[in-house]
Amino acid sequence: MSDILRLLVSPGFRTGVFAGNAIWHSMAFLNFTFRPQLMIEKLTNPALTASKRTGGGDEYTQDIMRYLGGINGGYAILALLRFVPLAISLSSKSSGQRLTTTQHQFAVSSDILCLTALGLANLSQAALNFFYARQSGRWIVGHWRGWKTDRITILDSLFTILDFGIVGARLAGY
């Protein structure tokens, strides 16, 4: 178990998780903000009859998609703000430099704060996908097809597990 916890808090793994979060939330920002009609068409359940489908959605639905995109922009920036120093520290470690105790404590606190916020963002979306969107019947998110579900639900769930896994390891003293 301690090997897994050490892996979770290793600089390379944490850098990868922050990079993944930054890319994930950046893509959500771009797609939901600038292409709401396309996202509505992609995410709307195709089994609905034409009379119940709104195509690209009405203006209110598109506005809500844009708000969803906007909030993801902040999460993308948060992930990038933690990714950049980690990436720099990885390159400086190859030259033999080590973190001071104060720098290490700051890194741990930064990881906990950033990954808690990112984990809650991902968890809220995964939970809504599984417990609301799936049952409403209007959206494809949260539905299992055979052994597969949609990318959004899978990645929100994956990043929730990774984010909170690192937070838990940090809180456990790793």
Where exactly are the structural domains of the chain? 2-171
- Residue 34's CB is within 10 A of a number of other CB atoms, namely 11
Per-residue pLDDT of the chain (174 residues; tens, 9 = 90+): 799 999 999 999 999 999 999 999 999 999 999 999 888 888 877 776 454 555 566 788 888 889 999 999 999 999 999 999 999 888 876 666 777 899 889 999 999 999 999 999 999 999 998 888 877 777 777 666 666 668 888 899 999 999 999 999 999 999
% of the chain exceeding 90 in pLDDT: 57
Residues 108, 149 contacting (CB under 8 angstroms) = no
What is the model's pLDDT at position 135?
76
**DSSP code of 52?**
T
Residues 122, 160 contacting (CB under 8 angstroms) = yes
Phi, psi (deg, nearest 5) at residue 144: -95, 130
What is the model's pLDDT at position 94?
62
The model's pTM: 0.87
Residues 142, 153 contacting (CB under 8 angstroms) = yes
Tens digit of each residue's pLDDT (9 = 90 or more) over 57-107: 678 888 888 999 999 999 999 999 999 999 988 887 666 677 789 988 999
